[in-house]
A = this chain, B = another copy of it.
C-alpha cells in the first residue's frame, strides 16, 4: 500500500546543486523542495487545497505545538496528522526541541531530556529523545527528526560543543527508539554552531549512527547569512551523497538560492506566511511592502506576469487596503502569493539544475530581485 522511504538523485549534479526525488508512503517530493510550516496542524489561514495549489508537495508539522494541543495521542486516535488536517501528501515533523528552547520560559535540560512548562496551561512536561520519536510516530510522520539541543549564536565554543555532544547522544537514542518503523524515515541533525571542527565531528558521528537523511540544524538563530552559508558550504559536502540534506528553518528566497547552490535539498521556513500576514509580498522583483502608502491608489497588480492568479487579479491598492484594515483576507491572499512564489522559485531551480544551467538561473533570479519593484505611480498632478 505504501512505498518505503527512498531518495534518489535524478541526474548529475550541476556543480554542487542537486536535483532529486524523495519517495514516501504518502507520495513523492521533488527536490530541492520547500516545506510550508503547518505549526498547529494548519498552514495559517490556508486550506489544504490552497497549500497544494501553491505547488507544495510536503508540509512540516510542529511536534511541540501538537503535543500540547490537541495532543499526540488524540491525533493518533483520530487517524494521525494526515487525516486530522486533511493533508494527504507527505509530512515531516520536527522533534519539538527547537520550540521548547524558543517558546518555553521555564525549562530544565538534563541528559535524559528536557522538562518545560507548557505555554498554554503551565503544566510541566518532559520531552526525551524517546518521547519525541514516540510522538512523531503517533502523528504518523513520513519523516521524523531526532531530538536535539539547538542554541542561539553567538555562543561560547565550550557551550556549542556541549550541546553538539548531547545532541549526538540523543541522536543515538532517537535511532534506537525509532527502530525499523516500516517505510518511514528518521533524519539526524548536525549541530556545532559556527565552528567548522565541531560541525565535522557532528557529521562523522551521525553518519556512524546512520540516518535516512541529514539536517543542518542550529542555523537561522542569530548568525549572519555569510556565516550560515559558510557552514552550509563546509558541511554539505561531508554528508552522504545519496541521502537528502535538509537546512532547518531557512530562509529568505536568497538564502534558498545560495543554499541549493551549496548542495541542500530541503527547506522549511515561516517567512512566506508570517511576512505575508504582515503585508510583505515576495516577488520576482524582490520583496514588496504592501502596507506602504505608495500602493494606496495603485490599480496595478502585484505582478502582472505572475503564473499565480492571485498575484495578477488583485490590485496593489486592494491588498494595501486589506493589510491596513487588518482584514483576514489580506493575510490569506499574501500567504498564498508568497507560498506560490517560493514554490515557483524551487521549481525554477529544479528545472535549471536538470538543464545544467543553475548558475545562469541564479544570476537571472538575483538580477530580478536587484532590479526591484516597479516604479511608484507618478503623484497626481
Contact = CB atoms under 8 A, between A and B. Distances in A.
B315 A84 contact: yes
Contacts of A47: 329, 332-333
A77 B321 CA distance: 14
- Most B CB contacts (10 A, CB to CB) among A45, A320, A324, A328 go to A328
Contacts of A296: 70, 74
Contact of A317 (B74, B314, B325): B74
A85 B318 contact: yes
Interface in A299-325: 299, 313-315, 317-318, 320-322, 324-325
A44 B328 contact: yes
A302 to B, nearest CB: 13
Given A329-B46, A332-B47, A41 B321 contact: yes
B44 A86 contact: no
A79 interface: yes
Contact of A297 (B69, B77, B329): B77
A327 interface: yes
Contacts of A45: 45, 328-329, 332
A86 to B, nearest CB: 6
Given A84-B318, A317-B70, A329 B299 contact: no
A331 interface: yes
A72 to B, nearest CB: 13
Contacts of A318: 41, 78, 84-86
Contact of A86 (B42, B77, B314): B314
B69 A325 contact: yes
Contact of A70 (B86, B314, B321): B321
B299 A78 contact: yes
B86 A317 contact: no
A314 to B, nearest CB: 6
A165 to B, nearest CB: 36
A40 interface: yes
A42 B74 CA distance: 36
- Most B CB contacts (10 A, CB to CB) among A324, A329, A332, A333 go to A329
B332 A328 contact: yes
Interface in A8-55: 40-42, 44-47
A65 to B, nearest CB: 8
A222 to B, nearest CB: 28
Contacts of A44: 327-329
Contacts of A322: 40-42
Contact of A78 (B74, B313, B315, B328): B315
A302 B79 CA distance: 17
A339 to B, nearest CB: 14
B328 A328 contact: yes
Contacts of A325: 40, 69
A69 B324 CA distance: 9
Contacts of A78: 297, 299, 315, 317-318
Contacts of A328: 42, 44-45, 328, 331-332
Given A45-B328, A47-B333, 6 more contacts: A42-B329, A69-B325, A70-B321, A86-B313, A86-B314, A328-B331
20 contacts: A40-B321, A40-B322, A40-B327, A41-B321, A42-B327, A42-B329, A44-B327, A45-B328, A47-B332, A47-B333, A69-B321, A70-B321, A74-B296, A74-B297, A74-B317, A78-B299, A84-B315, A86-B313, A86-B314, A332-B332
